[in-house]
Amino acid sequence: MTATRQEHDSMGEMTVPAEALYGAQTARALENFPISGIRFPRPFLRALGMIKQRAAQVNLELGLLHRERAMAIMEAAEEVITGELDAHFVLDIFQTGSGTSTNMNANEVIANRAAQLLGQTEGGRAVHPNDHVNLGQSSNDVIPSAMHIAAAVEIRQTLIPALFALQEALGEKAGEFDHIIKIGRTHLQDATPIRLGQSFSGYARQVSAAIRRLETACEGLYELPLGGTAVGTGINTHPEFAARVIKGLAETTSLHFRESTNHFEAQSAKDAVVAASGALKSCAVALFKIANDIRFLGSGPRCGYGELILPAVQPGSSIMPGKTNPVMAEALIQACAQVIGNDAAITLGGLAGNFELNVMMPLMTHNLLQAIELLGKASTQFTIKCVVGLQADRRRCESLVEQSLAMVTALAPAIGYDKAAAIAKKAWESGKTVREIAKQEQLLPDTDLDRILDPRPMTEPGIPGKRG
């Protein structure tokens, strides 16, 4: 039998495992919400610990906490920040919509650990979870603040660096492939020539734009609801508390956190989180397009487009020997699909701002932080395992250009649209190239045809076939 102890809250006593640092409210929530097994992620717990630590320090400075007790709370909160106490954060994401259960989980864990540090027994209230650890706070301002902090830190310190690395790798390929002319495609059909490097410059630009959108979205996350307490009025908190705590959090993270300009908006609505999720979704859409293009351009090796040669990172089939697949691109597009789904859940969560409080914050927290993690890790692996090792099959690219009926586009200014269309039709019906049919028709001297049908000028602004 596992040893237990008795703890109590306002509803009565609860039995708690003897080794657990959490208390009665956490134990009660543990019984109420055995739903998914999904717990709050490490970045959120770190942010929660940071808030509790800074709150204790500020309450000490304001003369609201005894020094010995405040120092013990700060030391216990540091263990939350570093992850040493993660095993004691046991609650499901699907719980009370304010996240009160998890805020109390943190309060109880920190209070009991602080009591241990003071040589006192767990549950003895030498350090009280509400009166001391939660002093000047409410779940209603702590949970959204922790959500903002965790998301902003992860976007700025993990996701954006990963995207910068991808942008740089794509930019390098744009330079490396700039001399290779391939056929363009619109509507999945042949179009006029393009340089392979130009395609990759477009991919690099997509990532660059995604980074800027994420940076803009972080501006909303930098506003913290802390100090609003229950409904945004700031009841039961010192007037200087929020500004001081947030200043400390900004110093710790080196990010521009600031107190919300309107606490009623900050606690009743989660528009900044919805906006951040929208930027993540936009990023996912961009990465999906890039990964999908690359896997299609690498299809083959003999019976597909075959313009790119993707790094072979693992065997591709359990039945077809020698087969390799674009697995890194597939992993990335699956991650992107999940992020798009997460955005739908976050959007629905944003609709649940009822009167003075949003009541779907745990769900939004989970989906937001998971989206950031997925995009960061998947894009990193795609960069390392796919983009860096990409090669181009120049001969294949140039062969497809010459075979393309869209080459006739350059002739249109010289011979007119209708005659050019007739050449394309004859080339298709005969199986010959546009060049072969044009020479056969003798519409222009061969020297003019060769000049006009040179694919390189077609990849730049200008009119190769202009009369005269």
From 36, 254, 256, 317, active-site residue: 317
Question: CB within 8 A of 28, min separation 6: which ones?
Answer: 9, 11, 14
Question: CB within 8 A of 401, min separation 6: which ones?
Answer: 181, 182, 183, 193, 407, 455
- Read off the tokens for 147: 């959500």
Residues in the chain: 468
How far apart (Å, rounded) are the C-alpha atoms in residues 397 and 410? 19
What is residue 389's three-state secondary structure?
A: coil
How far apart (Å, rounded) are the C-alpha atoms in residues 73 and 179? 63
Residue with token string 């808030």: 51
Q: Using DSSP bridges, classify how beta strands 181-186 and 189-195 pair: parallel, antiparallel or unpaired.
A: antiparallel
**Which amino acid belongs to residue 379?**
S
Q: Is 187 a catalytic residue?
A: yes
Give the residue from 451, 452, 422 showing the smallest Cα distance to 437.
422
The full 3-state SS of 194-255, as one line of letters, equals EEHHHHHHHHHHHHHHHHHHHHHHHHHHCEECCCCCCCCCCCCCCCCHHHHHHHHHHHHHCC
How far apart (Å, rounded) are the C-alpha atoms in residues 58 and 249? 11
Q: Is 256 a catalytic residue?
A: no
How far apart (Å, rounded) are the C-alpha atoms in residues 330 and 310? 12
How far apart (Å, rounded) are the C-alpha atoms in residues 112 and 119? 11
From 187, 199, 268, 430, active-site residue: 187
How far apart (Å, rounded) are the C-alpha atoms in residues 354 and 352? 6
Question: CB within 8 A of 162, min separation 6: which ones?
Answer: 375, 376, 377, 379, 380, 383
The residues annotated with a catalytic role in the active site are 187, 317
